[in-house]
Amino acid sequence: MATKTLEIPLPPHVKARIAQPVCIPMPKPGKVSITLPFGGATIQAFNDITKGIPDDCSLSFSLAMQIGPVLANMKCLIEALRVVEPLVTLITALGKADLVAIGQALPKFVDAVPPLVECITKFFLGVPLFLRDLLLLLAKLLRCVVASLKSALNVMSGLQLQIRSAEAEGNTALLAALECAQQQAQASADHAMSAIDPLLVLLSLAEPLFGLAGVDPIQTPQLASDGSLESLQAVVDVLGTLATTLQTVAEAIPGGG
């Protein structure tokens, strides 16, 4: 049996609406952080810019992977706290000339000191190597961010020219599609920008180690972008220079290169 396609006339405003491409906005990059037990400092989850814009689940797993090493490296701090308690008790007892209290506190203090001394010795030997590896890692990660920003910049620059051409021609359908692509490229740039802060926080937290390793501290740059191509390019230039500086300093540390 033959079939016939029936055309249903649509009002002009409905036809115009259907002709416009649908732009699905990309989600904004999120943030997940955790407060450390000492000093009120926090660590932030890293946005893996190689895997698209993350959600709360991926950010939380990223943060969990950071917590393990933090807890493992609290060993020396815990050993120090174990020394502090009997030391305070011992000093207080000495001040009061309380022989009984002195006799009780002294063995605890003597037992707590050797593990702390071992930790301190390993710490000073390991600081230069840790700082070297950390700076090299930060340099690599910054270059990853730079590569992502450059990619977004190239796309946005090309789209900007096409948008101007579509505006001049009055091609509204093409203009809507290009503006949607521009929004997606901007979201990608924002995503890459969101990965910068945690890296700079790490660099700032490592500042006390520079002196222990005999290295001059590196000033953390102030970065800001208003979303324009010019400001994004400025961010790329600063990050590229910082990555080169970090690698140069790292390779100058004994054992670097």
Does residue 10 sit within a domain?
no
Looking at the DSSP bridge assignments, the partners of residue 34 are 43
Does residue 8 sit within a domain?
no
Mean pLDDT over the full length of the chain: 79
Does residue 16 sit within a domain?
no
Tokens describing residue 83: 């020394």
**Separation of CA 61 from chain center:** 14
pLDDT tens-digit profile of 94-142?
Answer: 877 778 777 877 888 778 777 777 777 666 667 788 888 889 989 999 9
Domain count, the chain: 1
Does residue 21 sit within a domain?
no
φ, ψ (nearest 5 deg) of residue 233? -65, -40
Instruction: Give dist(CA 158, CA 155) in Å, integer.
Output: 5
DSSP-derived letter for residue 30 is: -
CB 116 within 8 A of CB 83: yes
Name the residue range of residue 151's domain. Answer: 28-252
Does residue 18 sit within a domain?
no
**In terms of pLDDT, which residue wins out, 20 or 222?**
222
pLDDT tens-digit profile of 50-81?
Answer: 666 666 777 776 777 777 677 666 667 777 77
Residue 256 has pLDDT above 50, yes or no: no
Does residue 1 sit within a domain?
no
Does residue 14 sit within a domain?
no
Does residue 124 sit within a domain?
yes
Instruction: Give dist(CA 119, CA 137) in Å, integer.
Output: 25
Instruction: Give dist(CA 114, CA 205) in Å, integer.
Output: 28
pLDDT for residue 209: 81
